[in-house]
Structure formats: structure tokens, C-alpha cells
Structure 1
Amino acid sequence: MEPSDYLNPAEEKMEMAVAYLDESLAHIRAGKANPKILDAVRVSYYGSNVPVSQVANVAVPDARTITITPWEKAMFKEIEKAIINSEIGIMPENNGEVIRLSIPPLTEERRRALVKQSKGEAENAKVSVRNARRDAIEGLKKAVKQGMSEDVEKDAENDVQKLHDKYLKKIDDLFAAKEKEILTV
């Protein structure tokens, strides 16, 4: 058994935790128009539930507006209904050509709640990274019993710790950027 047999899967898990956090934070509305907030909105299209982006053109003309231009006129009512029933909390405006979502400015209380939610997502990612570190170290300890030298195991443990620290820093950086984005008025 090689140390890399434990380091590579651990790094993969840590990388996935950071990627998942990045995706989660992208869906948290920060007062600026972001088409990703519509990712969870599904519309019925010929019997299938599909994302809005598969039945319409979604654009962000300015920092406070998202426009949705359905490819078929029949989809206007479906898209509007899906947005109203979603958890976005924004009333769509329809002028017959385009559906407009005006992103309201966030209140101070709402900003704090969003920062708290972001912090929770970051903590979940940190737990995943710590679990990957723990699994790798446990695997290395078992490898010692199967004949790996203790020096190699100690070096590998240090490498796992360095990976852990590197990914925790990435998580902290992602959270700090999101916090700044949310708190910037």
C-alpha cells in the first residue's frame, strides 16, 4: 500500500466539498440579479419538469433585473406560475414579450440571515473536509499494521494535514467573498 492510495481519495473528497460549497453559495441571493436563483424553478413542458433555462432565454440586463424570454408563447403562464410557487419570493412582471424579475434590495436583517446561511454551508463543507482527513489517517494507521513503515505513515499524515489546511483556507476564502458580496449595499 502506498500513501497516495489514501491521499488521492482524500484530496478528491475535499475538492468535491469545496465545489459543492461554491455551487451552494451561488444559489444564495445576494441582492444582485443572478440567473442561478432560477435553477431550482421547474416548469411543466410537454409532460416533463424542466428548468426554466431549457424553455426560455434567461438574461441579466442590469444588477437588479432578470429577464426571461420564453421560446414559445404558451410557456408564459407556466413560467410565471412556477416562479410564483417557488421559494424565490419575487413577483414576476409579464408584458407579453418578456417576463421580468426585479430583485429587491435586501434589508439588513435579511442580509444577516443570508450570511448566517452561507456560514452554515461553509461549516458543512469544513466537516466534509475533516471527515476526509480522518478517513485518510485511519487508512494510513491500518496500513502500518499491514507493513507500511511508521516514518512513511507520519510523512503521509503530515501531507493529509497540509491538504486539510489548504482546503479549509479555500472554504474560508469562498465564505469571505460571499459574505462581502451579501453585505455590500
Structure 2
Amino acid sequence: MEDEIDFIIDSTREAMKNALKHLEKQFANIRAGKASPAMVGSVMVDYYGNPTPLSQVANVSTPDGMTISIQPWEKAMISEIERGIHLANLGFNPMNNGESVIINVPPLTEERRKDLAKQSKAAAEEAKIGVRNDRKNANNELKNLEISEDLKKSLEEDIQKMTDEHIKKIDGILAVKEKEIMTV
């Protein structure tokens, strides 16, 4: 019985940590004014008929805060990389100089900053919903165990504390991201 309880608590903790990790990955894709290789992380390129992540066909770097440089390992891939960036619908206009693809990242407008802040809030809310669902699943699993009501109550309180901690962390991560987005 003790093993089952430990398993429920541990798996719930792990699921809540995964919700935080997922949120951080989503936030990495939300740009906050500076150019970053993560901005083109979702770009897929047609590599000899196979959709391939951009990072597997080229070296992506940021020589300065407003430029993303993409150096393909094969010169023949330049046009495919440009097409992949257009298809990803990131709002960037890639330029090629015959050797590499360069993306100038325009500064964010106030309106775009507000949109990105809203997008960040929505992602944080999704993470909170995930954490709450993890709490609900854990509580349902505890109800199915044949243990005393006092122990159930105690375990539910522990799970609630865990939930509160993770929601507080989500709020903290969101506050940092919003500050980063709104800083000009």
C-alpha cells in the first residue's frame, strides 16, 4: 500500500515538473526582442524529400541581437531553407547571400509586445490547467485506494501544497517572461 501511495505522489510530482518544462519550451519560442536560434527551431526543411529540422541541415547562430545567420552544410540547401522559413510562417523575410541565409529580426512594436504577452499568459494558463489536472488525477487515484480517511485527507493536502508550489513557479516564470517581452 505504501508503494502505491509513493508511486502516486512521485508520478504526480513528475507530471507537474513536466508541465513546467513544457511551459519553458513554449516560452523559448516566444521572442522577446532579441534574435535567438530558438526562433527558427520549429522550421522544417525538405532535405532530399524528407522533412528535417533546420538544426540538422545548417548551423544557426546570432551574430548580433537583431540578426539570425543560418549557414547550411550544403550550398544546395539555401533555397530549401528559405522556403522552410516562409512555410513556417514566422513573419521573417530571409535573405541569401549565396553562402548563407540571413534573417534580420525587426524590433517589436508595442502592439506586437502586447500580443506576445497575451500569448505568454495563455501558455501559462495551459500549464496551470495541466498541473490542476495532475492534482485531480492523483486525488482520483487516492480515492480508489483502500486507506483510512485521515490518510487520504493528509495526502490530498500534500498534493494541494505541491499544486500550489507549481502554480507559484508558473506565475514566477510568466512574470519574468512578461518583463522580458515588455522591456524595450
Normalising by structure 2, report the TM-score: 0.94
Deviation, 1:108, is: 0.6
Q: 2:65 aligns with which of 63, 68, 71?
A: 63
Deviation, 1:134, is: 1.2
Between the aligned partners of 1:38 and 1:62, the Cα distance in structure 2 is 16
Correspondence 1:152 to 2:146? no
Structure 1 unpaired stretches of 5+? none
**Residue 119 of structure 1 aligns to which amino acid in structure 2?**
K
Q: Give the structure 1 partner of residue 84 of structure 2.
A: 82
Equivalent residues in 2 for 1:34-183 (5 A)? 34-143=36-145, 146=146, 148-183=147-182
Structure with the greater relative contact order (CA < 8 A, sep ≥ 6): 1 or 2? Answer: 1
CA offset digits 1:142-162 (Å, max 9, x no partner): 22xx2x122222221121011
Between the aligned partners of 2:78 and 2:7, the Cα distance in structure 1 is 53
Tell me which stretches of 4 or more aligned residues in structure 1 moved more than 3 Å.
none
Deviation, 1:5, is: 2.9
Normalising by structure 1, report the TM-score: 0.94
Aligned residues: 182
Between the aligned partners of 1:142 and 1:79, the Cα distance in structure 2 is 53
Deviation, 1:174, is: 1.2
Between the aligned partners of 1:178 and 1:102, the Cα distance in structure 2 is 22
**Sequence identity, in percent?**
51
More displaced, 34-43 or 134-143?
A: 134-143
CA offset digits 1:1-55 (Å, max 9, x no partner): 2332321121111111111111111111222111112121111112211011111
Structure 2 unpaired stretches of 5+? none
